[in-house]
Chains A and B, each alone.
Chain A
Amino acid sequence: MKDTEKYWNPILETLPQEKLRELQLKKFQNIFKWAYERSKFHHKLYSDAGIEPGDIRTFDDMRKVPRAEKSMMRAIQGKAPYPYGDILCVPLEEVTAYHQTSGTTGQPVYQPDTWQDWEWCAETWAYILYAQGYRDYDKVFIPFGYHTAIAFWEGHYGAEKVGCEVIPGGVLNTEARILKMQELRATAMMATPTYVLGMADTARRKLGIDPARDLQIRKITVAGEPGGSIPTTRKRMEEAWGAKVYDHVGATEFGAWSYECTYQSGLHVNEALFLVEIEDVNTGELITEPGRRGKMIITAFDRLAQPCIRFDSKDIMEWSPVECECGRTFRLIKGGVVGRADDITKVKGVLLAPTSIEEVVRSIPQLGDEYEVLVTKKGDLDDITLRLELTPGQEDNVDAVKSKLVDQLRIKTGLGYNLEFHKYGTLPRYELKAKRFKDQRPKE
């Protein structure tokens, strides 16, 4: 196979690591200077730290640049130039697209983009989709309610850029979306893992359609939740649809920074367009070796209206020890994002990786796809309840399932849970990001 058939950009995707580092340093210098000279927010942040553009000469210098985080952006927005505040690096008239974060961790953050920024967003997705085998003969169905959340907007434009025919699922309901996929013989789809499983369930129960047999979807790109990198969840999705499922992780503020390729060895970091640093949550020490978890600090080199420089994502992850057989030199993240480095997932004093709970739940075939984790306070102690559904006809097996759950959850998360079994179909269903982790502890 020719290199141009394997890679979106064979030059950048196979650049030796030392050349990538050189490129990253130059690009970091450029975006730092851009933001320093155009945004009062960045200028003050860096001036207060005593750093100006000429000071960035090495990778170590980059590490001295103060981090930005979501709370800073929330504090700025709502002020002039309205509504973005003085983080904006271009005249307001040059902004052509508005989106916002999903609000999972609080007040949504506004995201302005110029047309060039939006072209860049599509470019980042073109890398993703081409690596996952999307080509100009694909018909890509996007079952997403196009609105202020960025979600699969970028995927839509990225797929167009690759040359695919894109079918916007928009305001159709789940049944109508499935029927439209069938009618148009869609070959690929993008959705959250929760919705991929939910659609399959609806197809079988309400329409008598078996997606693996009756539809032609053979590639699914998932995002928005960690399920695509959880083996047991991926297996459920692939079996339900008879398709390969590929993960991608990105975020509204910094873009689509990672992707799985067809080898499914982990998430490639797009190191030509982003700088990803993983650092120790407690000490801030840079982690470069595989097998040690830390939080991601990320820089997007070429998004200009609202630059993202050393942004503290609080996402927990680790470098992979393996090199991908695809030939890309971009390093791999093992197992996707496993949790967050803030109080949201600290339970009984330990960092709980919700992905571990999902891995256990989805490994037990008698359990349905839906579950919820409820954290409350009993006196001074945290209390965790796991709500589950048994699949129809499995009610007699509840004790065996319970026993397996207790053992596996203890091994994987080190915690004990109250287990609640609910009637199949009664837990909430979601079309975008599922809200499975419900923290009802009083705020301190």
Chain B
Amino acid sequence: MAEEYNIKEMAEKISSIKQEANELKAMSGGNQAVDRNVNRILASVKMLEINISDLVNVL
């Protein structure tokens, strides 16, 4: 069933979201309203990595 999904492309998108989120945090100047919400985004990104990205080297 895994072959029906474009896992590699999805993993690349996930990686881009992570990079964008980290860049946003880096430019926040310590603004907590940005940093804490980015942390939540990154926690969700980690779940995407667990569900998708971790498989890239296995399949």
Q: Residues on A close to B: CB < 8 A? A: 3, 9-12, 14-15, 19, 22-23, 26-27, 114-116, 118-120, 123, 272-273, 302
Contacts and interface: CB of A to CB of B under 8 A. Distances in A.
Contacts of B39: 115
Given A3-B1, A11-B7, A14-B1, A115 B54 contact: no
Nearest to A329: B1
A202 to B, nearest CB: 38
Contacts of A119: 43-44, 46-47
**Which of A9, A116, A118, A272 has most B Cβ within 10 Å?**
A116
Contact of A12 (B4, B43, B51): B51
B54 A15 contact: no
A208 to B, nearest CB: 45
A23 B54 contact: yes
Interface of B: 1-2, 4-5, 7, 39-40, 42-44, 46-47, 50-52, 54-55, 57-59
A19 B46 contact: no
Contacts of A3: 1, 4
Given A119-B46, A119-B47, 16 more contacts: A9-B51, A10-B1, A11-B52, A15-B2, A23-B55, A23-B58, A26-B54, A26-B58, A115-B39, A116-B42, A116-B43, A119-B43, A119-B44, A123-B47, A302-B46, A302-B50
Contact of A26 (B2, B44, B57): B57
A128 B19 CA distance: 31
Contacts of A15: 2, 55
Main secondary structure of the interface of A (DSSP, over half): helix
Nearest to B47: A123
Contact of A11 (B2, B43, B44, B57): B2
Contacts of A11: 1-2, 5, 7, 51-52, 55
A272 B51 CA distance: 9
Nearest to B44: A119
Contacts of A10: 1, 5
A124 B1 CA distance: 21
Given A116-B43, A119-B43, A119-B44, A27 B54 contact: yes
A118 B42 CA distance: 13
A9 B49 CA distance: 12
Contacts of A26: 54, 57-58
A15 B3 CA distance: 10
Contacts of A12: 51, 55
B54 to A, nearest CB: 7
Task: In the A-B complex, list the 9 residue pairs whose CB atoms are closest, starting with the nearest.
Answer: A116-B43, A119-B43, A14-B1, A23-B58, A11-B2, A22-B58, A123-B47, A115-B43, A9-B51
Nearest to A7: B1
B50 A123 contact: yes
A302 B53 CA distance: 13
A3 B1 CA distance: 9
Nearest to A20: B58
